[in-house]
Structure 1
Amino acid sequence: MRLSFIILPLGLSLLACTEPPTGQSLPLMGGYRDPADQCVRVGENEFTNQFLDHTADLVGCPVGYEGTGVFVTETSAVLVAVADGYELYSVPRN
């Protein structure tokens, strides 16, 4: 008998339990890498507090955005949640 294991990244386990409180939206603050960037810096509120710290930026990319793979590769971003149509990433500050 062969045993099979499925390994999921830590970020995926967080997705099911992280949604902003009803009536509260993400505080989006404009392009992250440049003003026209679809990935935007996300500000602080009751929901995003859990993902913010002094060593990383919180950035949101639209769900389904074609450039997400390049963004993750270039910035070493880690997926932490999905909310309001955005995938939220913690991006280490270098």
Structure 2
Amino acid sequence: MKQILPLIALGLLTACDTKTTTTQTTTTLPLFGDGYRADGDQCRRVGESAATVEYLDHTADLVACPEDYEGLGVFQVDTGGVEVARIDGWVLFSVSRE
């Protein structure tokens, strides 16, 4: 009976409805703010560093979204963002302010 209990527990855990969440990786990117477009959004503004300097533009925001973010396509369409790089598990977009 003791050998069956772990199997039952495992079966119950696998039957649970799980919510998919985006895991943000550790990065050297200088991310700032609580979200791009609104607080709590998974995408964030990116500041200047050696890794980002070539993507910065005074007429656009540099924005990073997690690579596993399900809304990448919607974000790109809604903002007109252009993908410029992928660094440390983040997709970098240049989003025009004009």
Query: What is the TM-score when the length of structure 1 is the normalising length?
Result: 0.72
The runs of at least 4 consecutive aligned structure 1 residues that moved more than 3 Å come to: none
2: CA distance between counterparts of 1:60 and 1:37?
A: 11
- Structure 2: stretches of 5+ with no match in the other structure: 1-26
1:40, distance to aligned residue in structure 2 (A): 0.5
Between the aligned partners of 1:71 and 1:40, the Cα distance in structure 2 is 12
**Aligned equivalents of 2:58, 2:82: Cα separation in 1:** 15
SS in 1 for 2:86: strand
TM-score scaled by structure 2?
Answer: 0.69
The percent of aligned pairs where both chains have the same amino acid is 58
Calculate the aligned-residue CA RMSD, in Å: 1.1
The aligned residue for residue 28 of structure 1 is 31
AA of the residue aligned to 2:31: L
SS of corresponding position for 2:74: helix
Q: Which amino acid aligns with 2:30?
A: P
Does 1:72 find its partner at 2:62?
no
CA distance in structure 1 between the aligned counterparts of 2:90 and 2:39, rounded to whole angstroms: 17
State the alpha-carbon separation in 2 of the partners of residues 62 and 47 from structure 1: 16
Paired residue total: 71
Higher relative contact order (CA 8 A, sep 6+): 1
Counterpart of 1:18 in structure 2 is none
Deviation at 1:80, TM superposition (A): 0.5
Higher-Rg structure is 2
